Structure 1
Amino acid sequence: MMTETSKTHVILLSCGSFNPITKGHIHMFEKAREYLHKSGRFIVIGGIISPVHDSYGKPGLVPSRHRLTMCQLAVQSSDWIRVDPWECYQDTWQTTCSVLEHHRDLMKRVTGCILSNVNSPSTTPVIGQPQNQTRPIYQNNNNINNKPTAVKLWGKMSESLGKICCVRPHSDRFTFVDENANLGTAMRYEEIELRILLLCGSDLLESFCIPGLWKNSDMEVIVGDFGIVVVPRDGADTERIMNHSSVLRKYKENIIVVKDDINHPMSIVSSTKSRLALQHGDGHVVDYLSQPVIDYILQSQLYINTSG
Structure 2
Amino acid sequence: MYLENKNIVLLATGSFNPPTNMHFRMFEIARDHLNRLGYTVCGGLVSPVHDSYKKKDLVASTHRCAMLELALTTLPWVKMSNWEVRQNKWTCTRQVLQYHQNYLNSVINSRLNGTNNEKFLLPVQFLKDIITNKSKTNRAINVRLLCGADLLESFAVPGLWDDDDIETIVRDYGLVVISRSGSNPNKFIYESDILTKYMANIIIVTEWISNEISSTKIRRALCRNDSVKFLLNESVESYIKDQGLYGTDNK
TM over 0.5: yes
User: For the structure 1 residues 182 and 95, does the alpha-carbon distance in structure 2 shift closer, same or farther, using more than 3 Å as the test?
Assistant: closer
Q: Does 1:207 align with 2:179?
A: no
User: For the structure 1 residues 281 and 202, does the alpha-carbon distance in structure 2 shift closer, same or farther, using more than 3 Å as the test?
Assistant: same
Unaligned runs of 5+ in 2: none
Q: Could you tell me which of 223, 236, 243 is aligned with 1:300?
A: 243
Tell me which stretches of 4 or more aligned residues in structure 1 moved more than 2 Å.
107-113, 135-138, 146-150, 181-190, 233-236, 262-265
Q: Could you tell me which of 51, 67, 71 is aligned with 1:70?
A: 67
Q: What is the aligned partner in structure 1 of residue 116 from structure 2?
A: 137
Please show how residues 44-59 of structure 1 align to structure 2 within 5 Å.
44-59=41-56
RMSD: 2.4
How far did residue 263 of structure 1 move?
2.6
Q: What is the aligned partner in structure 2 of residue 237 from structure 1?
A: 184
Superimposed CA distance per residue, residues 205-249 of structure 1 (whole angstroms, 9 cap, x where no aligned partner): 010111221001101110111100000146321112212322111
Q: What is the aligned partner in structure 2 of residue 256 from structure 1?
A: 203
Q: What is the aligned partner in structure 1 of residue 213 from structure 2?
A: 269
How many angstroms apart in 1 are the aligned matches of 2:32 and 2:119? 28
How many angstroms apart in 2 are the aligned matches of 1:278 and 1:244? 39
Tell me which of the two structures has the higher relative contact order, counting C-alpha pairs closer than 8 angstroms and 6 or more residues apart.
2
Aligned positions, number: 242
User: Highest CA radius of gyration, 1 or 2?
Assistant: 1
Please show how residues 159-238 of structure 1 align to structure 2 within 5 Å.
178=123, 181=125, 185=129, 186-192=132-138, 193-233=140-180, 235-238=182-185
- Higher share in helix: 2
Q: What is the aligned partner in structure 2 of residue 148 from structure 1?
A: 120
Residues 33, 205 of structure 2: 8 Å contact kept: yes
User: For the structure 1 residues 305 and 78, does the alpha-carbon distance in structure 2 shift closer, same or farther, using more than 3 Å as the test?
Assistant: closer
How many angstroms apart in 2 are the aligned matches of 1:64 and 1:217? 28
Residues 16, 48 of structure 2: 8 Å contact kept: yes
How many angstroms apart in 2 are the aligned matches of 1:46 and 1:61? 27
Residue 297 of structure 1: SS of its match in structure 2?
A: helix
Q: Could you tell me which of 277, 280, 285 is aligned with 2:224?
A: 280
How many angstroms apart in 2 are the aligned matches of 1:44 and 1:149? 21
Residues 69, 80 of structure 2: 8 Å contact kept: yes
Query: How does the TM-score come out when normalised to structure 1?
Result: 0.72
Residue 199 of structure 1: SS of its match in structure 2?
A: strand
How far did residue 57 of structure 1 move?
1.3
User: For the structure 1 residues 217 and 229, does the alpha-carbon distance in structure 2 shift closer, same or farther, using more than 3 Å as the test?
Assistant: same
Query: How does the TM-score come out when normalised to structure 2?
Result: 0.88
Residues 180, 210 of structure 2: 8 Å contact kept: no
Unaligned runs of 5+ in 1: 1-5, 114-128, 139-145, 151-177
Q: Does 1:21 align with 2:19?
A: yes
